[in-house]
Amino acid sequence: MTGLLQTGCSEDASLTLQIPEDGFEVVQHIPADAEGRDQNTLYLSPRSIKPKEFNTPELNTLIDSMYAVMIRKAGVGIAANQLGKRLQIFMIEAKVDNPRYQVLGPVEKQVFINPIITKVSKARKNFWHGCLSAHGEKRGNVASFEWIEYECQNQKGEIQRGKLDGFAAVIFQHEYRHLMKGTYLDRANHFLPKEELDKKLDTGELPFFESATDTLPLLIEGYKLGISLEDY
């Protein structure tokens, strides 16, 4: 009887801290009407990190591996479900020499575990988003809050509270969108190929990181302040 139970109840690898033997691959976006979306970790609810998992070699190794992928791909943020892990973890960092976003300045490396947004600005900014999980896709224009306040835990399980504005707030909301199940591709109405977008931004034909009206789709639309991602 025990053997039958063990055989029939295999653990979902996407819900564990274990790193795949072959390493991580970045999970790619699947359109809403496409087959397989309901099995894509970008669109499945992530679980919170449990008290017993904090300050463990498994958690620390997972976070180190996430960071390595982010750096290798020249990203400025990455969420666990982008790597096939349905876990409430993401990180942000923009180095001074980042080839994509030098104009916006550096962002300190920060890791957010079990994050909650507690307060947001009334003002919104527009931003043309790309994503490691949207390889080959067009950039999309969406709004994000000019600043946010958050509560989360660090790798030791300690409660952290803070405020982010500017580019850091944009990256935070981009990654938070992933944990809310989705990408900018599910929110934006205006898309442009990167090459065309770069030209229009360089000439000033399109606004970049300027005040956004309420008509521009909000990246984290639907989230209620102070609500855990389990309750979202």
Supply the residues annotated as catalytic: 175
Distances (CA, A) of 123 to 53, 55, 141, 211: 37, 37, 16, 7
3-state secondary structure of 2: helix
Q: How many secondary structure helices (H) and strands (E) does the chain include? A: 4, 8
Pairing type for strands 107-120 and 124-129 reads unpaired
What are the residue ranges of helices labelled H in 49-208?
57-72, 166-179, 194-202
Q: 81, 26 in Cβ contact below 8 A?
A: no
CA–CA separation, 232 vs 224, rounded Å? 7
Pairing type for strands 107-120 and 89-94 reads antiparallel
CA–CA separation, 62 vs 216, rounded Å? 36
Name the strands in the sheet holding 124-129, side by side, starting at the edge strand that comes first in the sequence.
124-129, 139-145, 190-192
Closest by Cα among 99, 122, 102 to 167:
102
